[in-house]
Amino acid sequence: MDFPSYMTLLASGELERRAAALEARLANCDLCPWNCQINRLAGERKICMAGLLPAVSSSAPHFGEEPALSGTSLPEGEARGTGNIFLRHCNLRCVYCQNWQISQDHRKAAEPGEVTPEKLAGMLLELQAKGCHNIGFVSPTHYAPQIVRSVEIASRAGLRLPLIYNTNSYDSVDALRLLDGVFDIYLPDLRYSDDGHAREYSKAPGYVSHARAAIGEMFRQVGDELVTDERGLVRRGLIIRLLILPNDLAGLRETLEWIGETLSPRVTLSIMSQYYPTFRVNGEQYPLLNRKIRPSEYAQVLKWLEEFGFDNGWVQPLEAGAADYYRPDFADCATPFADARDFIQPERESRPRFPR
């Protein structure tokens, strides 16, 4: 198989057709389960507050993704990072969102950060010129049409990097089908196994069934094999991120059981221990979330991984330092994160399989 796959779509003219089909959906927006049916082509905004033009908060090499994406699994000095495009707005309302400055500060709904697809294409080419190993679109759901158009423009101008769809999984399956072959790497979160918790903490009706259906479509497209190049960098595949929440509010045992039985125990997982109370979380309103996770909760998730036979993936260390990195400040959009290489312990983070 040729990589990246969008080059095949470009050569056949299918990439332009996909972009046009997605853009047409903006007239009655149905890109996610909210199904707002507003005319974004006319500038209307609703739940996610996204308009016609994509709003970019940051475009820079990022070293905090999984080691085989950001290159921190490579020998010292060879990591070039994931070229992350952090997009403003979100269709979830997570009360603990670490990116709340760009996802939920809607006072800046029409800020100067809005860019044309042509300018977004230029950003992709700039990240490629900086040597990034891939391009990651963070919170892409509400801008999928504009992203695909920018990829079509950039690929005609020489873009050749794998693309990552980094999503909260509250996606429309119909829209995802139009992304088949555009994205070689899917990086979805699977936040909850209980709709009550999803509604209370992320204001997302029906999250569990919608997210599972979306991830099922991603799995259909790329399967359970994580394809890597000769350096061990990911070229194609599905990596499901599971964030450990205090008091197991994520319901990870049920989620792992679903992944193993419905998808495959060979699916690559990324177990994230980085949770910390932020944004709207406080002792009075959300007491069950108002602390970091405990070592016992972390250890329990590792036991569940073994119980359900998962072998492929990564686990973030629980030690202080690594977690401190995941505290962005988008007031400085050029470098919202500290350099993860100051925090990551390579002997712990670069393992291709879960520790036993």
Residue 1 lies in a domain: no
319 pLDDT band (50/70/90 cuts)?
A: confident
Cα 5 from Cα 162, distance rounded (Å):
8
Taking phi over 0 as left and psi of -120 to 50 as alpha, with beta for the rest, 205 belongs to beta
Q: Is the predicted pLDDT of residue 75 greater than 90, yes or no?
A: yes
Instruction: Look up the domain containing 148 and give its range.
Output: 6-349
- What pTM, to 2 d.p., does this model score? 0.92
Of 72-86, 252-266, 326-340, give the lowest mean pLDDT range: 326-340
Q: Is the predicted pLDDT of residue 342 greater than 50, yes or no?
A: no
Count of CB atoms situated within 10 Å of the CB of 4? 24
Say what the pLDDT of residue 104 is.
82
356 pLDDT band (50/70/90 cuts)?
A: very low
Q: Is the predicted pLDDT of residue 110 greater than 70, yes or no?
A: no
Determine what percent of the chain is predicted with pLDDT higher than 90: 81
Q: Is the predicted pLDDT of residue 92 greater than 80, yes or no?
A: yes
Q: Is the predicted pLDDT of residue 60 greater than 70, yes or no?
A: yes
100 pLDDT band (50/70/90 cuts)?
A: confident
Residue 110 lies in a domain: yes
Distances (CA, A) of 13 to 3, 6, 124, 158: 17, 10, 20, 16
Residue 69 lies in a domain: yes
Residue 265 lies in a domain: yes
Residue 355 lies in a domain: no
For helices 207-222 and 195-202, what crossing angle results, to 10°? 100
Say what the pLDDT of residue 326 is.
66
Q: Could you report the per-residue pLDDT of 141-190, keeping only the tens digit for each?
A: 999 999 999 999 999 999 999 999 999 999 999 999 999 999 999 999 99
Q: Is the predicted pLDDT of residue 355 greater than 50, yes or no?
A: no
Say what the pLDDT of residue 265 is.
97
Block residue for tokens 């309302």: 93
Cα 70 from Cα 299, distance rounded (Å):
26
Q: Could you report the per-residue pLDDT of 12-48, keeping only the tens digit for each?
A: 999 999 999 999 999 999 999 999 999 999 999 999 9
Determine what percent of the chain is predicted with pLDDT higher than 70: 87
Say which CATH number the domain at 311 has.
3.20.20.70
The pLDDT mean for the chain works out to 90
Say what the pLDDT of residue 344 is.
45
Q: Is the predicted pLDDT of residue 323 greater than 70, yes or no?
A: no
Q: Is the predicted pLDDT of residue 257 greater than 80, yes or no?
A: yes
User: Which is more confident, 72 or 352?
Assistant: 72
- How large is the average pLDDT for residues 207-211? 98
Block residue for tokens 């993860």: 340
116 pLDDT band (50/70/90 cuts)?
A: very high
Total structural domains in the chain? 1
Residue 189 lies in a domain: yes
Taking phi over 0 as left and psi of -120 to 50 as alpha, with beta for the rest, 183 belongs to beta
Say what the pLDDT of residue 324 is.
62
- The residues near 216 (Cβ < 8 Å, ≥ 6 apart) are 173, 262, 263
Cα 18 from Cα 20, distance rounded (Å):
5
The answer to whether the Cα torsion of 142, 144, 147, 149 is positive or negative is negative
